[in-house]
Amino acid sequence: MTLENEKKCSPAAERRCAVFRLSPRAILPACALAAALALAFGCASTASSQNRKIHIVINSSGSISIEGTPCRLSAVAKKMKSLGASPQTSIAISVPASGGDAVMRDLTRELASAGFTHFVFMKPREIDASVSSSQRREPQGKRSQ
């Protein structure tokens, strides 16, 4: 039955079917292209992963530590360069929940004057919840009957 159907195909239908047939000659260049793209993207991700992130902490007292080592504000740029930081290095700065604004401004000036432009300030997460008396429910075991 299938042989009869194949014989009944028009020449135009045969051309459409031929487009979707994969020959070994078509598979080899496609595989080579896929491998080249995979290698190219692999190299790009390897190069971008070499960008390091340095972590700076500003304590609630206003003291600064870089990668766990205490540091004066005036020595921040020197310490960053000794760690191998470049202007493209990402810098994550943890700040206390309250206060520390003056130290943040001074640290920003110090980093910018040293040529560092990729830094972000991170505050601790806070959750604030309130429950009104109309929303409050009593536990199952303490209900009065």
> Does the pTM of the predicted model rise above 0.85?
no
Higher pLDDT, 78 or 49: 78
Q: Which pLDDT score, from 0 to 100, does residue 87 have? A: 87
Q: How confident is the model at residue 48 (pLDDT cuts 50, 70, 90)?
A: very low
Q: Which pLDDT score, from 0 to 100, does residue 60 have? A: 86
> Amino acid letter at 109?
R
Question: Which fold, 51-122?
Answer: Nucleotidyltransferase; domain 5 (3.30.420)
Q: How confident is the model at residue 43 (pLDDT cuts 50, 70, 90)?
A: very low
Encoded tokens for 27: 């598979």
Sequence ranges of the domains in the chain: 2-43, 51-122
State how far the Cα of 3 lies from the Cα of 52, in Å rounded to an integer.
Answer: 64
Higher pLDDT, 17 or 89: 89
State how far the Cα of 145 lies from the Cα of 142, in Å rounded to an integer.
Answer: 9
